[in-house]
Structure formats: C-alpha cells, structure tokens
C-alpha cells in the first residue's frame, strides 16, 4: 500500500485515540500528510486535552511522515473552518476529510435530557457537516478556478444508526443522519471532483469497551475487534483509486466489508386511484408488514 496516498493532505477528526488514530497512522503509512484533529474530551464530550492528538502526530513523525495537531471542536462551525484552513495553510492543499470524532451519552429515551440529545447530535451530525461544508466550499472554488480536485470525504456512521440499538436514540439518530448526509453530499459534490462515502464500523474503543467488547485471548490469531481493522477501507476510499465510488455506506468489522443497502420500496398496496379509508387499512397494512423482509440487526 505504500504510496497509495502519496502527497495527499488528509484531515482526520477525533484522531487522538481509537479508530481515528488508526486512520491517521494508516494514511501516513501510505504517504499522506495529516492534520490530526482531536479536542481531547472524554467519551461524553467533557474536557479538553491535546496530548492524545500530539502523541499521534509524534508517532507519525517517527514513521518519517508529516503531521500537525489541531485541537478545534468540530461541533463549532467556526472551529471546523479553522481546521480546514489549517490544512490548506500548512500543506498548501486539502484532498481528504475523514469525519470520525464522536461521543456517547447513552440513555433510555424516557430518561434522556435535552443536553444529552443536543451534545451527541452536535458532535456527530454537526461535527460532520462543519468540516465537510468548509472543505466543499474550498473544492468548489478550486474547480471553478480550473484546478479540478480529486477529493474525498469519508464519514462515520454506525450499525446503531442503520439497524437501531436500544438506549441510543440520540446516537442512532445522528448516525442515521450521517448516512443520509453522505448519500446527498455525494450527489451534490461529484461535479467538483469530490466523492463522499461513509463507514459503519464495529471495533473495540473507549466508546465500546463497556458494551462487552472484551480483549482477545492471548492465543487468538486475529483480533476481529482491533480498531486498526477499520482503516484499510478508509485509506482506500481516500485514495485516487476510489474515484468511481460515492454516496455509499459500508459496513466494516474484523475481516468483513459489506455495502449497506439503502431503503427500498417493499410490499405495496394501491387503492385504485382513490384515497384510502382508514377503516379499511386494518386488512391491508398488517399483511404488507408480514410480506416485508425482516430488517437486519446489529448482530448480523
């Protein structure tokens, strides 16, 4: 894979730990220059600490790569703008944005308070919108100036957002929104030479360690939950080779890569050109539901 992203400038948000850190290291190993963004908050989004991001940068430099730290909060629109501008000012260009930063504030819906909803939506959904929007404006201007980009956005959805998971209405709603954002952004930005894709990963991180994702046994030949397993697909999606793939959400865990198939119109009934009478639907809707495919779950 050496050289797959040679000279490309990549932003990875939430790259101080976990999956984001692995993305940054993997991009650097293929020749990319990195802006390592991480506010350094805990898993609930509280606090700030630049040391994790700085450690990732130091590890990239120890590999012989180039990287700089950014500590902006991607949920802040102005901060997202500064992040994008730092990449351009530091390295002279921007080719790839990987939106990875996230937090958790799990709670059953009846007990969830407004701040728990707002914080998760802000970091995940607005934190995907902000960097992407600022980068998109830059790439649009480059295209109009005759400097056609070959750019990429890789967003981070989740099986929780695609299939649902109890206790995560806030997180799941944000991740479902990211999946749809990805599809539409890919439609809009293709004219500027930009592809937009997303991953829905499963791995062992700070955010999942309380969900029963234990460490592998000492004799395990392959750790299916190693966060490094997620990064090869992201690195490829960030490369020039992926120019014909866009508006797609990928499921990735362990040694598996799958395409998440979007909503399709399933079993359908029509009423001969007339408005339905609600009194008749009891004989129609249950049969439609029975005829529909059983949805996938997070365990499949």
Q: Which domains does the chain have, with CATH numbers?
A: 9-259 (3.40.50.720)
* Residue where the block lists tokens 């991001």: 53
Q: In 10 A of CB 196, how many CB atoms?
A: 28
Highest mean pLDDT among 19-33, 206-220, 286-300: 19-33
Q: Look at phi and psi of residue 298 and say left if phi exceeds 0, alpha if psi is from -120 to 50, else beta.
A: alpha
pLDDT confidence of 98, banded at 50, 70, 90? very high
Pairing of strands 248-253, 256-259: antiparallel
Q: In 10 A of CB 10, how many CB atoms?
A: 29
pLDDT confidence of 229, banded at 50, 70, 90? very high
Distance, in Å, from the CA atom of 79 to the CA atom of 141, rounded to the nearest integer, reads 20
pLDDT confidence of 212, banded at 50, 70, 90? low
Q: Where in the sequence numbering do the catalytic residues fall?
A: 158, 171, 175
Report whether 179 contacts 260 (CB < 8 A): yes
Low-confidence winner among 71-85, 202-216, 233-247 (lowest mean pLDDT): 202-216
Q: What is the dihedral of CA 106, 109, 115, 116, to 10 degrees?
A: 10
Segments of the chain assigned E as strands: 9-13, 33-37, 66-70, 96-99, 151-156, 194-202, 248-253, 256-259
pLDDT at 209: 58
On average, the pLDDT of the chain sits at 93
How far is the first Cα of the chain from the last one, in angstroms, to the nearest whole number?
30
pLDDT confidence of 208, banded at 50, 70, 90? low
Q: How far is CA 215 from CA 58, 158, 200, in A?
A: 26, 21, 21
Low-confidence winner among 31-35, 49-53, 278-282, 296-300 (lowest mean pLDDT): 296-300
* pLDDT above 70 coverage of the chain, percent: 94
pLDDT at 45: 75
Q: In 10 A of CB 140, how many CB atoms?
A: 17
pLDDT at 146: 97
Instruction: Pick the more confident residue, 81 or 218.
Output: 81
Distance, in Å, from the CA atom of 38 to the CA atom of 49, rounded to the nearest integer, reads 8
Pairing of strands 248-253, 194-202: parallel
Distance, in Å, from the CA atom of 249 to the CA atom of 271, rounded to the nearest integer, reads 35
Q: What is the dihedral of CA 201, 207, 209, 212, to 10 degrees?
A: -60
Buried-state track 227-258, b at ≥16 Cβ within 10 A, e below 16: bebbbbbbbbbbbeebeebbbbbbbbbeeeee
pLDDT confidence of 124, banded at 50, 70, 90? very high
- The whole model's pTM is what? 0.92
pLDDT digits (tens, 9 = 90+) for 36-69: 999 987 777 777 789 999 999 999 999 999 999 9
pLDDT at 1: 45
* Residue where the block lists tokens 């902006």: 72
Instruction: Pick the more confident residue, 192 or 294.
Output: 192
Is the pLDDT at 213 greater than 60? The verdict is no
pLDDT digits (tens, 9 = 90+) for 138-180: 999 999 999 999 999 999 999 999 999 999 999 999 999 999 9
pLDDT at 155: 98
pLDDT confidence of 211, banded at 50, 70, 90? low
Instruction: Pick the more confident residue, 178 or 297.
Output: 178
Beta bridge partners of 66: 33
Report whether 13 contacts 131 (CB < 8 A): yes
pLDDT digits (tens, 9 = 90+) for 244-269: 999 999 999 999 999 999 889 999 99
pLDDT at 204: 86
Report whether 64 contacts 71 (CB < 8 A): no
């Amino acid at each position: 894979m050496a050289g797959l992203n040679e000279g490309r400038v990549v932003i990875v948000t939430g790259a101080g730990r976990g999956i984001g850190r692995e993305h940054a290291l993997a991009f650097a190993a293929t020749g990319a220059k990195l802006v390592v963004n991480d506010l350094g908050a805990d898993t609930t989004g509280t606090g700030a600490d630049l040391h994790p991001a700085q450690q990732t940068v130091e590890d990239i430099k120890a590999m012989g790569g180039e990287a700089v730290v950014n500590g902006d909060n991607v949920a802040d629109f102005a901060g997202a703008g500064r992040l994008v501008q730092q990449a351009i000012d530091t390295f002279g260009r921007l080719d790839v944005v990987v939106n990875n930063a996230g937090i958790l504030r799990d709670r059953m819906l009846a007990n969830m308070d407004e701040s728990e909803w707002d914080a998760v939506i802000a970091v995940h959904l607005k934190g995907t919108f902000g960097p992407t929007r600022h980068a998109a404006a830059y790439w649009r201007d480059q295209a109009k100036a005759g400097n056609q980009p070959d750019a990429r956005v890789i967003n981070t959805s989740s099986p929780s957002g695609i299939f649902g998971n109890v206790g995560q209405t806030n997180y799941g709603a944000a991740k479902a929104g990211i999946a749809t954002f990805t599809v539409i952004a890919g439609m809009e930005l293709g004219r500027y030479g930009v592809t937009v894709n997303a991953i829905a990963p499963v791995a062992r991180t700070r955010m999942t360690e309380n969900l029963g994702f234990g460490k592998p046994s000492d004799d395990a030949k392959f750790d299916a939950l190693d966060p490094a397993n997620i990064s090869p697909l992201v690195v490829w999606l960030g490369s020039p080779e992926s120019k014909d793939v866009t508006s797609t959400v990928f499921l990735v865990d362990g040694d598996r890569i799958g395409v998440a198939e979007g909503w399709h119109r399933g079993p359908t009934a029509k009423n001969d050109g007339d408005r339905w009478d609600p009194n008749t639907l009891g004989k129609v809707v249950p049969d439609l539901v029975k005829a529909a495919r059983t949805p996938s779950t997070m365990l499949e």
